[in-house]
Amino acid sequence: MASMPRLIVGLGNPGSQYEKTRHNAGFWFVDELSRHYRAGFRVESVFQGELAKFEREGNIFLLLKPATYMNHSGRSVGSVARYYKIDPAGILVAHDELEFAPGLVRLKQGGGHGGHNGLKDIIAHLGSADFARLRLGIGRPAEKHQVSHYVLDNPGRLEGEQITAAINQVMGYMDEVMAGNLEKVMNRLNAR
């Protein structure tokens, strides 16, 4: 049974050169959450990332953007989770997903890393894969050898609009997600 996600992590790479790249879809999502809930990010060097806090229905929620670069995201996630005593089931990680077309978004509880280096590192640092994932579709290049260039490139205008639309779609479900109704949201979101 999924619990309420007290820590919502967006995956991406720090720095203006990566800001608009496909790999930063997770950052775009938590940035939108921070605007929606009026929670400003602050650089927290002790956690190797940017952290924002807000309160809803008497519960404190944390938003995190690791500043460790994608492949070392687990350092930041692990240190925040340990400090705030949040177990993996209380974490939601938003990330770019090559397996889905731009605009497609899915929510799932637990699972493997599917070759995603950010997820792989988080699993290693938490010692568990039992966290929820928000998978934001970015599509994939025609050739497998182009993947690293593709994820670090900016999406085209239409693709960018599709990813933004998917993020906005999820925003409509976030109150339910934060109330711990992950299963209900999964059924609705994943059926679309």
Q: Give the list of residues 6+ apart from residue 65 with CB closer than 8 angstroms, or none.
A: 9, 10, 12, 14, 27, 30, 31, 41, 49, 50
Which class in CATH covers the domain with range 7-191?
alpha beta
- What is residue 1's predicted lDDT score, i.e. its pLDDT? 42
Q: Is 41 exposed, middle or buried (0-12, 13-18, 19+ CB in 10 A)?
A: middle
Rg of the chain on CA atoms, in Å: 15
Low-confidence residues in the chain, pLDDT < 50: 1
From the list 23, 95, 116, 125, the catalytic residue is: 23
Tens digit of each residue's pLDDT (9 = 90 or more) over 73-83: 999 999 999 99
- What is residue 191's predicted lDDT score, i.e. its pLDDT? 82
For residue 86, give both structure tokens.
């949040």
* 23 is an active site residue: yes
In sequence order, what E strands does the chain have? 7-10, 42-44, 49-56, 59-66, 91-97, 105-109, 132-137
For residue 184, give both structure tokens.
């209900």
